[in-house]
Amino acid sequence: MKSALVVVDVQNDFCDGGALPVKGGQKTVPVLNKYIELFKAAGLPVYFTRDWHPQRTVHFKEYGGVWPQHCVQGTRGAEFHTELKVAPDAKVITKGDDPDKDSYSGFDGKDPQGRKFAQALKEEGVDHIYVGGLAADYCVKATALDGLKGRFRVTVLLDAVKGVDVKEGDSERAIDEMIEKGAGTTTIDEVELV
Ligand code: VGL
Ligand code: ZN
């Protein structure tokens, strides 16, 4: 069995200047690029999740949800940050495309072949995921907790996540909860791929 890197929702709309900016969200990009290099050099898979909403979805305020429009399919806001090292053959996991569901977890997503993310990981022989990206208190948290529920080992990349912090301290509480439920943590200077 092996490890994989999961880069969660590093899209323009979640970075400064975007429609639902995580303050300093783009600051995760150079660190994530280092992790990407590290995993690639070790021959380990790298997955990129993306929030990929239709114009009309219960996720948006206008239709009963809590969020302003963001990451609408095909828009610039939905594209990965330009500096993020997404290879042309990258493994992209798409989520949030069901207009009737408010989903956050990468595990609600599917790969281009239509495989659920957990299935794609299993078929690749992955039993340990390293999770970074945006936002710490929403999609990163949901992805990490679902990973644990699905019996994956989960390590959170403390130096490569940032949160929305609708309430002050949300990101810290999210990280505490992930740890409490069984996640490990690491940083780029300490990471050992196991
Ligand atoms: C996210 C809020 C709404 C996220 C997605 O990627 O964390 N947060 N949609
Ligand atoms: Zn969303």
In a domain, 192, yes or no: no
**Which listed residue (13, 85, 139, 162) is catalytic?**
139
**Quick one: pLDDT band at residue 193, thresholds 50, 70, 90?**
confident
Residue 16 lies in a domain: yes
Which ligand has the minimum distance to the alpha carbon of residue 72?
Answer: 2
- DSSP 3-state of 181: coil
Report field, pTM of the whole predicted structure over 0.85: yes
Coil, strand or helix at 80:
strand
Q: Which domain holds residue 170?
A: 2-186
71-88 average pLDDT score: 97
Question: Residue 65 has which token pair?
Answer: 């949800």
Within-domain flag for 191: no
The predicted structure's pLDDT at residue 25: 98
Tens of pLDDT, residue by residue over 82-136, are 999 999 889 999 999 999 998 999 999 999 999 999 999 999 999 999 999 999 9
Q: How many domains, the chain?
A: 1
Q: Is residue 193 part of a domain?
A: no
182 assigned to some structural domain? yes
In a domain, 167, yes or no: yes
User: What DSSP element (H or E) covers 121?
Assistant: helix 117-124
CATH code, domain carrying 169 = 3.40.50.850
For ligand 1, atom 6, the nearest C-alpha belongs to 139
Q: Residues 122-180: pLDDT tens digits? A: 999 999 999 999 999 999 999 999 999 999 999 999 999 999 999 999 999 999 999 99
45 CA distance to ligand 2 middle (Å): 25
The band of 194, judged by pLDDT with boundaries at 50, 70 and 90, is confident
In a domain, 145, yes or no: yes
Distances (CA, A) of 170 to 52, 130, 152: 24, 21, 24
Q: What dihedral angle (degrees, nearest 10) is formed by the CA atoms of 59, 7, 44, 112?
A: 30
CA 135 – ligand 1 centroid, Å:
6
Ligand 1 center to residue 39 CA distance, Å? 25
Write the pLDDT tens digit of every residue in 11-69: 999 999 999 999 999 999 999 999 999 999 999 999 999 999 999 999 999 999 999 99
- Position 89 scores a pLDDT of 86
